[in-house]
Amino acid sequence: PVVVVAQVTSTPDKEQNFAACVALVREAAERGAGLVFLPEAFDFIGRDAAQTLSMAEPLDGDLMGRYAQLARDCGVWLSLGGFHERGHDWATTQRIYNCHALLGHDGRLVAAYRKAHLCDVELEGRVSMRESSFTNPGTELVAPVPTPAGKLGLSVCYDLRFPELSLALRRAGAEILTFPSAFTVPTGSAHWE
């Protein structure tokens, strides 16, 4: 099967981001894709933590519903690599999850992995990031998911720094390891090297 990895430059404008993702997914489907990967924060990147929290949605919300319809319309699997999810505990924690959602070609939510390793980094004079200040860490490894391209092991971005997660996914049968990312240039360059 044809697999497409799409890249977008997300903004705080969810509609603009959705339109860009729709265009990429439709083009991928027209080219015969069976599985399309979108990056971490495909839905939006907020200007700050407060805006990010205010814009987050549950997995059964409007935006994910529109992605499910897109998967059905195009007949493709969608790997949505980092959805800002208001989880079941939103009312008590007021924190979100960084959720890698996998939709089947029928739009059904096949799996949801919540990022376990949150990126807290301070590079003096370059970047300061504390994902843990507004995000809950996930607590479960998701078993590899059979897809048309093989068994996917789901993870997100900073999880890359923790090889035990990849080893556990591989031992569980993963044939493809995924690390959808929105690394900053200062924090990401060495990882991709």
Q: b/e for 29-54, b at 16 or more Cβ within 10 A?
A: beeebbbbbbbbbbbbbbeeeeebbe
Per-residue pLDDT, 108:
98
**What percent of the chain is modeled with pLDDT above 70?**
91
Note the pLDDT tens digit of each residue in 168-179.
999 999 999 999
pLDDT higher than threshold 80 for residue 54: yes
Catalytic site includes residue 57: no
Helix (H, G, I), strand (E, B) or coil at 120: strand
Global confidence as pTM: 0.92
Catalytic site includes residue 115: yes
Note the pLDDT tens digit of each residue in 63-93.
999 999 999 999 999 999 999 999 999 999 9
User: Which residue, chain included where needed, has tokens 């971005």?
Assistant: 157
Which of 40, 57, 85, 131 is flagged as catalytic? 40
What's the structural domain count of the chain?
1
Q: Can you give the CATH number for the domain in which 11 is found?
A: 3.60.110.10
CA distances, 67 to each of 14, 36, 78 (Å) = 12, 12, 8
Give the residue among 31, 28, 35, 8 at the shortest CA–CA distance from 176: 35
pLDDT higher than threshold 80 for residue 191: no
Note the pLDDT tens digit of each residue in 122-144.
667 766 677 888 899 999 999 99
Which of 21, 74, 119, 157 is flagged as catalytic? 157
Catalytic site includes residue 40: yes
Domain of 16? 2-190
